[in-house]
Amino acid sequence: MTDIKPIRNADDHKAVLDEIEVLFGAQPGTPEADRLEVLTILAAAWEARHFPLDDADPVDALTFAMKAQGRSQSDLAGALNSRSRASEILNRRRALTADMIDAISSAWAIPAAALGGRPRTPASNVRRWALNGMAAIAFTVTASLAAGGGALWYIGKDLPDPAQVAALADRPDFVPLAEIPPHVVKAFLAAEDKDFYGHGGTSALGVVRATAISLGALISGKPGAGGTGIAEQVAKNLLLTNEPRSLARRLKAAILANRMEQSLSKDRILEVYLNEVYLGSGSYGVAQASMRYFAKPLADVSVAEAAVMAGLPKAPNAYRPNLPDAYDQAKAKARRDWVLDRMANDGLITVSAAHMAQAESLLRE
């Protein structure tokens, strides 16, 4: 094999492609086949570097295959058993889950690997304006908070030691995290703080961010939204028990949550949270709640029962599963089903597992 040279520019690349076209389909074992193999490797390496296709969008692939096969959005709704899901996927408002990819790939013979990427986010003008607006608001809030750093210091200077919360482990019915079933942990993460293990909080910027989130949550009327939700709840429930609801309390909780994440591991904070969170009917923690509502030890609760418990912190008395009124039971079931949907959307359980759990009654007969 002679005069094969590296591809250094577009002209070299074109010359190699021209030769590949001539050699295409060469008989195996011939010099032409050997040359084709080497040229193919050179060209593929050049193109992978200069024209990567690894940002393939699954919605582009799905849409193209559906049109090529003469299928419509209604067909996709049929394959996924949901019109809204089909619409959300095709409009890039929802990512395909493993279950969905499996269902579509099996039913329509679309290569599963083509559906596994991350859909790109549509960047319409409205979206850009909204993002710019949000960035401006975030900048203003952050700048204001930075200017008020002294005030934050003043609020935070006499707060209790966040490591105190670990003393809760002395309680006789304290359940170590390792003994809490994984689906119970997942249910609470999905419902209360899905980014719990992702967000940190070890810097001054972290305090500002957490404070900004708290401020935003207070303004929006959605306590616990985003940020350090679980750590903040631990701080409020265990360290700020005598503080009336106020912006100062939220700021203190944000500061304490941040300090807690510096002194305790994420697992430890979550462990404390799952043992102290109030879940209605006089029960504190998941072990007490599982006995109270399901008359069984925590190790035996199902996914559906875990979702019932995880739905309770937001409004323990409103979402209790043991209320006799049919309207209250419907509310509790809706809350449980919402948690199960969140778990499925976050990939913590499969969609089919969520559907099976949603089919269960709230309390076993």
Q: Which residues bind other proteins (CB under 8 A)?
A: 10, 13, 17, 20-21, 24-25, 28, 36-37, 40, 43-44, 47, 50-51, 53, 56-58, 60-65, 67-70, 109-114, 117
Q: Which is closer to other proteins, CB of 60 or CB of 243?
A: 60
Of 44 and 143, nearer to other proteins (C-beta) is: 44
Least Å distance between CB 81 and other proteins? 23
Shortest distance, position 131 Cβ to other proteins, whole Å: 22
Q: What six digits make up the tokens of 146?
A: 């930075």
Q: Which is nearer to other proteins, 3 or 21 (CB)?
A: 21
CA nearest 181: which of 335, 362, 310, 278?
Answer: 310
State the DSSP code for 224.
T
Q: 88: which residues sit within 8 A by CB, 6+ positions away?
A: 94
Q: Could you tell me the two tokens for 73?
A: 């959005």
Nearer to other proteins, 50 or 245 (CB): 50
Which CB atom, from 101 or from 339, has the smaller least distance to other proteins? 101
> Residue 7 or residue 301: which is nearer to other proteins going by CB?
7
Rounded to a whole number of angstroms, the minimum distance from the CB of residue 102 to other proteins is 14
CA distance 243 to 241: 6
Residue type, 70: G
CB of 14 to other proteins, least distance (A): 9
Of the candidates 61, 63, 81, the one whose C-alpha atom is nearest the C-alpha of residue 72 is: 63
The Cα–Cα gap between 257 and 214 comes to: 11
Q: Quote the DSSP letter at residue 237.
A: I
Min separation Cβ 23 and other proteins, Å: 10
We find the least distance from the C-beta atom of residue 99 to other proteins, in angstroms, to be 18
Could you identify the residue written with the tokens 């430890």? 268
Phi-psi region of 295 (alpha: psi -120 to 50; beta: other; left: phi over 0): left
- For the chain, percent helix, then strand, then coil, each to nearest 5? 65, 0, 35
